[in-house]
């Protein structure tokens, strides 16, 4: 288990970025999250991922969170795919597109695109709450030979994701946190 270290971009530029993300994606109501938790607040990630100008601005700032040693960016199905593609354009790193389960036809692969075996892979996600999907996908990628030490996300809701990933030896680097969105 890694000591819990929170990586967060922060900075003046991120206040405006956080405001833009919040304004386009924050919903109020009653929502059941992937973790099964019920929340009165939801970040509709598809709203900031569907805006090419905002997505590019996010990727530009996220590029600073990519460790120097990373060889491949691995975006998780489905929301992480748009983010990893934009981040790959900004960093020049090859991308892998990770399914929740390997398909049973065609290539029958879990990860499409760049080769991950034996390479340092950065897992890319849009919103992290409990970290459950990042943990599950990272285990699968490691079984395929990927070396994973870090994950990056647009929004860390700070509801246990960093701790769950730390227990797996993975540091979570977040561009924005729930607190950033609340302050914006």
Domain assignment present for residue 2? The answer is no
Annotated binding-site residue numbers for 5-phospho-alpha-D-ribose 1-diphosphate: 34, 99-100, 103, 125-133
pLDDT of residue 35: 78
- What is the CATH classification number for the domain harbouring 137? 3.40.50.2020
pTM over 0.85: yes
The parts of the chain modelled with pLDDT lower than 50 are 1-7, 12
Q: In the chain, what is the greatest distance between 2 CA atoms, to the nearest angstrom?
A: 47
Binding-site residue positions: 34, 99-100, 103, 125-133, 157
The neighbour count for residue 87, using CB atoms within 10 Å, is 26
Q: What is the pLDDT of residue 10?
A: 53
Query: Number of folded domains in the chain?
Result: 1
Binding site for orotate: what residues are annotated? 129, 157
Tally DSSP H helices, then E strands, for the chain: 7, 9
Q: In this structure, is residue 62 part of a structural domain?
A: yes
pLDDT score, position 1: 47
Query: Which residues form the domain of 164?
Result: 7-183
For residue 65, tell me if it sits in a domain.
yes
């Amino acid at each position: 288990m890694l000591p819990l270290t929170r990586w967060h971009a922060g900075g003046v530029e991120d206040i405006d970025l956080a405001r833009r993300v919040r304004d386009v994606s924050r919903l109020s109501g009653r929502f059941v999250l992937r973790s099964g938790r019920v929340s009165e607040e939801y970040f509709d990630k598809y709203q900031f991922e569907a805006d090419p100008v905002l997505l590019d601005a996010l990727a530009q700032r996220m590029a600073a969170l990519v460790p120097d040693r990373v060889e491949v960016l691995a975006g998780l199905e489905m929301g992480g795919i748009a983010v990893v593609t934009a981040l790959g354009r900004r960093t020049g790193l090859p991308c892998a597109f990770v399914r929740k389960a390997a398909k049973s036809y065609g290539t029958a692969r879990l990860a499409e695109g760049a080769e991950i075996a034996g390479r340092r892979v950065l897992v890319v996600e849009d919103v992290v709450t409990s970290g459950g999907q990042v943990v599950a996908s990272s285990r699968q990628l490691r079984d395929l030979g990927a070396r994973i030490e870090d994950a990056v996300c647009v929004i860390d809701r700070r509801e246990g994701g960093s701790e769950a990933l730390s227990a797996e030896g993975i540091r979570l680097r977040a561009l924005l946190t729930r607190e950033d969105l609340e302050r914006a």
